[in-house]
Chains A and B, each alone.
Chain A
Amino acid sequence: MCTDKLAIGLGKTVAVAVILVWSLFPITFILMSSFKPGQDIFAVPPKFVFSPTIQHYVELWNGWGVFFGGLLNSTIITAGATVLAITTSTAAGYVYSRYSSRMLNASVMFLIIVRLIPPIVVTLPLFPIINAIGLNDTHIVLMVLYATFFVSLGTVLMRTFIDQIPRELDEAAQIDGAGRLTILRRVIVPLAAPGILAVAVFVVVFAWNEFLFAFIFTATRAKTAPLVISEMIGSIDGVDWGVLFAASTVQLIPVLLFVIFMNRYLVAGLTAGATKG
């Protein structure tokens, strides 16, 4: 009995160790390597003790100004897409939660079916149209695209969260003379904050990291950070790994901290999103 327990404990420890290495080794490796001096990056076996240097960050700063422009673009686009997705899905989720009709139920199915359309499909007609109206390579295009591909999930999530807010609160506010918009802003939004944060995690992570739309719809002015990094990977005269790792670290750290900090809302969103739509 005692040896059994020991064996199970040992097995679990090994399993946990494997899981941790699998999940964290690639990330840690990039973060660490970005501080390794020149040849230490390529040392076999990998060095875990080294004298850290910021030389790759200096090179990044001096040689890749376009990367910092990309970071700025990514920030603007992520902020815009998140605000757009949250406001629109909260408003729609409110209606879906508080109002019921055949048409509304049918349109929920519609929201779910829309998620089945692969994003690359819409690039075909949108590419010439966006070029024709002169919106190519602008922030607004990516903001709208990123928000739109999450409003269906966002709306269904917000409905699920708003469903948990007692209707009596709406009624009380209405008796006090509040209009719909006031009820939404003063009653629903504060109480549905966990839902809003869950939607925010999805949109922020997606918009900050997205590649396909940025690749097709931007060229220079609105180029995002992932796109600049992809150019570093594909550079013809060989990859400068040190600089690439430094850029990756700068791009990754904010979103990684965000996910770590918001992990509760991410879990809640993933769970509700999978079971409710």
Chain B
Amino acid sequence: MRLNKITEALPFLAPVQILILSVIVIPSLYVVWLSLNASSFGQSATFVGLDNYIRVLTDPAFLLALGNTVLIVIFAVHLELALGLGMALLFASGLPFRRVLLVAVLAPYAVSEVIAVAMWRFLFDPDVGPVTAMLTWLGLPMLDWSFEPSHALIMIGLLTIWLHLPFTFIILYAARLAIPKDLYEAARIDGATAFDAFRRVTIPLLGPAIVVALLFRYIFAFRIFSEVWLMTQGGPARSTEVVAVYLYQEAFSFNAFGTAAATAWIMVLASLLLATGYVFLLRKQVAGNVH
């Protein structure tokens, strides 16, 4: 059955559209205007063109934050993908108590960033942390995350992986389960080894799911804020800031709404850029779904 007139459909659509327009779209467009003006909280703005963007892009603190963000994205997302893929294949190979194990793997999804940071700070505490004690016992160096920026970034990367692995795993596992068993049967009859089957059947058919999981995680890891803020507040001396923390500092610590807005739009553009491929894939999907 069709809703015949668009006027009939409008009351059902309006709430969602009003929420999105008033909370996300219009404010985001207003941020464009903010980014082209020099302003701070409570003062009138003056138009400065692209000045804010130039100031941000030449600010060493921003470049460091961008570098840290890119490092976290590349390190965490790819490691997470490899782990998620390995786990998906392990689960698909047949495990006893699979449902219980699945629920155990999902558990970190329920944990807030705040509590995850509390856990990590204790587990890796230089003096009393059990993981630190274990690392020392194994003769490995401990993570001196409150003083050494690179160690802090490793901690944050691990924490991000821990929080988001359930997502990546589920996407890949669902896609792996969707591969028909016949294909593996056929491969086996044709004399393919397990590795051949993995290379020629599993990987090509998982391709789209891998791309989706990667893009989602690139986009979400790029906006990382809470983990970093709660772990180090960007310190010591702004050395572990990421782009979102830089934005927060500009806006709410230094009252520089112009440069904060420019940073915000740099984030939006980066996300859009990352997602072009994804949106392209989805357009095919949406076209395929038209009734």
Residues of A within 8 A of B (CB): 12, 15-16, 19-20, 22-24, 26-27, 29-30, 33, 42, 44-46, 87-89, 91-92, 94-95, 98-101, 103, 105, 107-109, 111-114, 116-128, 144-145, 147-149, 151-152, 155, 163, 167, 170-171, 174, 180, 184, 205, 208-212, 215-216, 226-227, 229-230, 232-234, 239, 241, 244-245, 248, 251-252, 255-256, 258-260, 263, 266-267, 270-271, 274-277
Contacts and interface: CB of A to CB of B under 8 A. Distances in A.
Contact of B244 (A118, A149, A239): A118
A89 B212 CA distance: 23
Given A24-B107, A116-B272, A251-B112, 7 more contacts: A29-B119, A92-B17, A101-B6, A155-B16, A263-B106, A266-B170, A275-B209
Interface string B76-117: 000000000011001001010000011111111111111111
Nearest to A87: B15
Nearest to B90: A15
23 contacts: A29-B123, A30-B115, A91-B13, A100-B2, A109-B283, A116-B268, A118-B264, A118-B271, A120-B223, A121-B265, A128-B41, A128-B42, A148-B24, A151-B16, A151-B20, A171-B1, A229-B114, A230-B114, A233-B117, A239-B121, A244-B118, A260-B106, A267-B170
Contacts of A226: 112-115
Given A16-B95, A98-B2, A252 B23 contact: no
Nearest to A27: B107
A248 B115 contact: yes
A120 B122 contact: no
Interface string B246-257: 011001100001
A106 B271 CA distance: 20
Q: Which of A92, A127, A234 counts the most chain B CB atoms within 10 A?
A: A92
B74 interface: no
B106 A259 contact: yes
A26 B116 contact: yes
Given A144-B23, A233-B121, A260 B290 contact: no
A255 B113 CA distance: 13
B179 interface: no
Contacts of A42: 128
Given A125-B30, A148-B23, A275-B285, A119 B223 contact: yes
Given A112-B282, A171-B1, A117 B28 contact: yes
A30 to B, nearest CB: 6
A232 B216 CA distance: 32
Contacts of A120: 223, 225, 244, 247-248, 264, 267
Contact of B286 (A105, A230, A233, A267): A105
B234 to A, nearest CB: 13
Nearest to B15: A88
- Most chain B CB neighbours (cut-off 10 Å) among A87, A108, A152, A271: A271
B275 interface: yes
B279 A148 contact: no
A40 B222 CA distance: 39
A208 B109 CA distance: 12
B183 to A, nearest CB: 19
Given A148-B24, A209-B114, A121 B93 contact: no
A95 B109 contact: no
A1 to B, nearest CB: 14
B206 interface: no
A270 B166 CA distance: 10
A89 B219 CA distance: 23
B280 to A, nearest CB: 11
B107 A267 contact: no
A212 B225 contact: yes
A45 B15 contact: no
